[in-house]
Amino acid sequence: MSELRSSRSDRSQSAVDLLGLYEITRADLAKIRKLGESVIPKLDDRIARFYDWLEKQPEYEEFFTSREKVEQVKALQVAYWRDFFRGEVDQGYIERRRAVGEVHAHIGLPLPTYFAAMNLMLELYSASVREQGLSVEDEAATIRALAKQLHLDTALVVETFSRITSETIAEQSRSLIAMSTPVTAIWRDVLLLPIVGVVDSKRAQEIMTAMLSKIAETESRVIILDIGGVAVVDTAVANHLIKITKATKIMGCECTISGVKPAIAQTIVELGVDVDEVRTTATLRDAVKNAFDALGYSLTERR
C-alpha cells in the first residue's frame, strides 16, 4: 500500500496524503512546535552559521552577487524556518514549499548544494535538540520528527524543481525541433525545407511531420527538400528521404530533393530505387526553377 501511494505524483497529493506518506503524526508536529520555542529566538545565529558554510561553496559567488542579495535571501530563510517551526503542515504549507522548488529551478541552484544545505540545517537543529537536556527517548523522538518534516520539505522542493526543469527541457527541445525543421513558403504553392546536420530515424520522422503539416496548412503543390547541408547520407538516410517524398506525394504535393551530391546519387542507385519516383537536382537553384516550371510560373530578368 505504501509503495502504491509513493508511486503517485507529489503534485497530486494533499497535505493529509503527504503527512501519511512520511508518517508525520500530531505528536511529531507538537514536538516541532515545542522545539521552535527554543530555536526561533536563536534563528539568526543558526542562519549565520549556515552562511559561514555557504560562503565556502563554489556556487556562493554565482548566486550571491551583492550584500543586498545576501540580506534578502537571509530574510526569506528566516521566514521559511519560522513557517517550519509552526508545526502546521496544511495545504498552504505544501504550496509554499513547492514555491521554493520553483525558485530554485528558475535560478538554477544545483540540487547537490540544496541537499547539502538541508543536511547542514538538520545537524544544526539536531544540536539544538541535544542542548535542551531532554530524556533519551524524547530527544530521539524530537530528532525523528525534525528529520521527517525536513525530508517532506526536501521532497516537495526537489519534485517541483525536477518538474519545472523537465518542462523547460521539453520546451527547449520543441523549439530546437522547430528551428531544425523550418518549412518555409518561398512562393505561392512552393515550400522549402533546408536540412543541416545528421538525419536519424527520429529526426526523419520530425521532418516528415513538419512537412506534411505545412503542406496541409498551405495546400502547397511543390516542396523542395534541400539536403546540401546533411553531413552524411548513407543507406538509412536515403531510405528516410524516399519515404518522405512518398508521403508528400500522397498529400498531393510533389517533393524535389535538391543538393544531391555524386555520393548521394550513388547511394540511391545502390538501393535499387526507381529514380522516376524521386525528383532530384544537384542545386537548390535548379529545384526552384523546376518548381516554377511545373506550376507555370516564369521569372523575367530585368536588365
Model confidence pLDDT, tens digit, residues 42-57: 898 889 899 899 888 8
Q: What does the H/E/C string look like for 7-69?
A: HCCHHHCCHHHHHHHCCCCHHHHHHHHHHHHHHHHHHHHHHHHHHHHHCCCCCHHHHCCCHHH
Q: What letter represents residue 246's amino acid?
A: K
pLDDT exceeding 90 applies to what percent of the chain?
A: 41
Question: Which of 243, 224, 208, 232 lies closest to 282, judged by CA?
Answer: 224
Contact 208, 175 (CB under 8 A): no
The per-residue pLDDT for 92 is 94
Residue 197 has pLDDT above 90, yes or no: no
Phi-psi region of 248 (alpha: psi -120 to 50; beta: other; left: phi over 0): alpha
Q: How many CA atoms lie less than 13 Å away from 16 in the CB half-sphere?
A: 0
C-alpha cell at 174: 520543441
Beta bridge partner(s), residue 279: 256
Backbone angles phi, psi at 57, to 5 degrees: -85, 145
Task: Give the global pTM.
Answer: 0.57
The string of pLDDT tens digits covering residues 215-247 is 999 999 999 999 888 767 777 777 888 888 889
| Domains of the chain, CATH where assigned | 2-176 (1.10.490.10), 184-295 (3.30.750.24)
Q: Give the pLDDT score at 174.
A: 60
Output the CA–CA distances (angstroms, integers) from residue 25 to 1, 36, 88, 145, 246, in the order listed.
18, 17, 11, 8, 65
DSSP conformational letter for 188: T
For residue 3, pLDDT over 90 is answered with no
* Residues 209, 174 contacting (CB under 8 angstroms): no
| In the chain, alpha helices (H) | 2-7, 15-21, 26-39, 43-54, 60-63, 67-84, 91-107, 111-130, 136-180, 201-218, 235-250, 262-270, 284-295
Q: Which three cell numbers stand for residue 123?
A: 545537524
Mean pLDDT of the chain: 84
SS3 258: strand
Instruction: Report how far residue 26's alpha carbon sits from residue 73's, in angstroms, rounded to the nearest whole number.
Output: 31
- With cell 512562393, the residue in question is 187
For 220, residues 6+ apart whose C-beta sits below 8 A from its C-beta are: 185, 189, 190, 191, 214, 253
Mean pLDDT across 10-32 = 88
Taking the C-alpha atoms of residue 155 and residue 169, their distance in angstroms, rounded to an integer, is 21
- Nearest-angstrom CA–CA distance, 181 and 232: 17
Please give the helix or strand (H or E) that residue 190 lies within, else none.
strand 190-197
With 0-12 / 13-18 / 19 or more C-beta atoms within 10 angstroms meaning exposed / middle / buried, residue 19 is: buried
pLDDT (mean) for 141-153 = 96
